[in-house]
Amino acid sequence: MSKVKDMSLAPEGVRKIEWVQKHMPVLEHIKEEYLETRPFKGITIGSCLHLEPKTINLGLTLMAGGAEVAMTGCNPLSTHDDAVAGAADLGLNVYGWREQDDEEYYQTINMVLDHKPDIIIDDGADMIMVLHNERTELLSHIKGACEETTTGVHRLQAMHADGALKFPVIAVNDAYTKYLFDNRYGTGQSSFDAIMGTTNMVIAGKTVVVCGYGWCGRGLALRAAGLGADVIVTEVDPIRALEARMDGYRVMTIREAVKQADLIITVTGNADIISGDDFKYMKNGCMLANSGHFNVEINRQDLEAISTEVKEVRESIEEFTTKDGRKIYLLADGRLVNLSAARGQGHPAEIMDMSFAVQALSAKHILENDLPVGVTKAPDEIDYNVASLKLQAMDIEIDSLTDKQKAYMANWQEGT
């Protein structure tokens, strides 16, 4: 069963899915293995992930493993209507369309839950929240869940600390082969891809402010500098601020940074990073984008409060005219720009290859192990397996320790 916008888009969707399959060799390897071993026979998996071709390929991998798969999106703006039509054509149960309102967003989450999943794959924990708050009758059926992103992991850890979480969760985000590549290089590249595609503007010579120097922020700053920008970082963590400075960026408070910015990108996972009077100090023409979770990093209401007019001046660009006559531009409604902008394509397929390989292997790990209730990192074996397969696909060989080296490393007696 499926509910999508337009099934006539299916052929184009299938073409896009076939394209990413050519660039997801690790997931394809796992798919082959699952076709033989069928680890998910008799199991239903429900996902709440950005609905686009790479995610559909994860769905197809789980289906190859014998699962009944039901999928919906984790953001009202990130669904690709052609890809979901293609997914429905290929036998997945898929519920979603681009530009859902809040009611539709939660309706489609519930449609997935109506399949009574054994395993959940979530991105941001919205599906897990609905399960715990509204669909409690399904809780005893759930064997476990996998969580894709930093903010989702934080939400679930907070939930567990409150004693509210009712099943085991694997923090897929916390796998090395996820955050070191997806959060850093994926967000760095795909955010600029979306910002440049949306605005058709140059980055070289601009002052770009990156708010938050976590894994995503490091990637964004690196790409901004590579594109020729003068990069400013804002942080609240003194160690990360120091790291940013030694990585070569200017570091200052947000209040100072907004005065100099041509483009500000928030990526903290926190709320109100740009709010209140910050907007009053911005230069005419300043552009604002968010790459972090949800649309709360840039306080839209505060910007509206100092504006006389708001209009869409180009697809995914809103122009706010302030009472003192400046123009400030907000991209993709302040939702993560790399996925929510009309031109946002999400991370490259080669990157999601690793994140979704960790997902596919973690789902199997949940089935095969009696995990405790709580949030645990994906096991190291999964990380090393994914990294080795990726290197193999990239035709890169590395050395291994000799017996003598192993003995040396294990020896505490040998000194100078």
Ligand X SMILES: NC(=O)c1ccc[n+]([C@@H]2O[C@H](COP(=O)([O-])OP(=O)(O)OC[C@H]3O[C@@H](n4cnc5c(N)ncnc54)[C@H](O)[C@@H]3O)[C@@H](O)[C@H]2O)c1
Minimum distance between the CB of residue 38 and ligand SIB, rounded to whole angstroms? 25
Largest CA distance in the chain: 74
Residue 100, beta-bridge partner list: none
Question: Is 97 annotated to bind ligand?
Answer: no
Which listed residue (183, 295, 355, 359) binds ligand X by CB under 6 A?
A: 183
Q: Is 267 in the site for ligand X (CB under 6 A)?
A: yes
Closest to 344 in 3D by CA, of 75, 8, 21: 75
Q: Residue 106 interacts with ligand SIB (CB under 6 A)?
A: no
Per-residue binding string, ligand SIB, 259-298, x by CB under 6 A, is ----------------------------------xx----
Distance CA 124, CA 322 (A): 33
What phi and psi, each to the nearest 5 degrees, are found at residue 122?
Answer: -115, 155
Q: Residue 222 or 257: which CB sits closer to ligand SIB?
A: 222
Contact partners, residue 15, CB within 8 Å, separation at least 6: 86
Report whether 75 belongs to an annotated binding site: no
Q: How far is the CB of 406 from ligand X (least distance, A)?
A: 34
Q: Can you give the three-state secondary structure of 170-211, one letter per residue?
A: EEHHHCHHHHHHHHHHHHHHHHHHHHHHHHCCCCCCCEEEEE
**Residue carrying the six token digits 């039509």:** 85
- List 54, 154, 218, 364, residue binding ligand SIB (CB under 6 A): 54
If one asks whether residue 249 binds ligand X (CB under 6 A), the answer comes out as no
Asked if 212 touches ligand X (CB under 6 A), the answer is yes
147 is a contact residue toward ligand SIB (CB under 6 A): no
Toward ligand SIB, which CB reaches closer, 339 or 341? 339
Give the pair of three-digit tokens for residue 111: 């449609």
- Tell me which DSSP letter residue 378 carries: P
Residue 336 as a binder of ligand X (CB under 6 A): the answer is yes
Q: Cα–Cα distance between 138 and 363 in angstroms, integer?
A: 18
Stretch that binds ligand X, among 3-11, 32-40, 236-244, 326-334 (CB under 6 A): 236-244
Choose from ligand SIB, ligand X, none: what does 267 bind? Cβ within 5-8 Å by kind.
ligand X
Nearer to ligand X, 96 or 214 (CB): 214
Q: Does 237 bind ligand X (CB under 6 A)?
A: yes
Residue nearest to ligand SIB (CB): 346
Which among ligand SIB, ligand X, none contacts residue 213 (Cβ within 5 to 8 A by kind)? ligand X
Which of 9, 13, 20, 52 is in the footprint of ligand SIB by CB under 6 A?
52
DSSP state of 66: T
Closest by Cα among 234, 207, 231 to 221 = 231
Give, rounded to a whole angstrom, the gap between the first and last alpha carbons of the chain.
69
Helix (H, G, I), strand (E, B) or coil at 259: helix
Q: What angle do CA 343, 148, 165 make, to 5 degrees?
A: 135
Residue 290 vs 307, nearer CB to ligand X: 290
Choose the binding region for ligand SIB from 47-55, 197-205, 270-278, 314-322 (rule: CB under 6 A).
Answer: 47-55
State yes or no: 13 annotated in a binding site.
Answer: no
How many of the other CB atoms lie within 10 Å of CB of 89?
18
**Phi, psi at 249, each rounded to 5°:** -100, 160
The residues, ordered by sequence, that sit 6+ positions from 174 with a Cβ below 8 Å of its Cβ are 153, 377, 378
Least distance from ligand X to the Cβ atom of residue 215, Å: 4
- Determine if 352 is a binding residue for ligand SIB (CB under 6 A): yes
- Site mask, ligand SIB, residues 60-89, x = CB under 6 A? --------------xx--------------
Does residue number 359 form part of the binding site for ligand X (CB under 6 A)? no
Contact set with ligand X (CB under 6 A): 149-151, 179, 182-183, 187, 211-217, 234-237, 240, 267-270, 273, 291-293, 336, 338
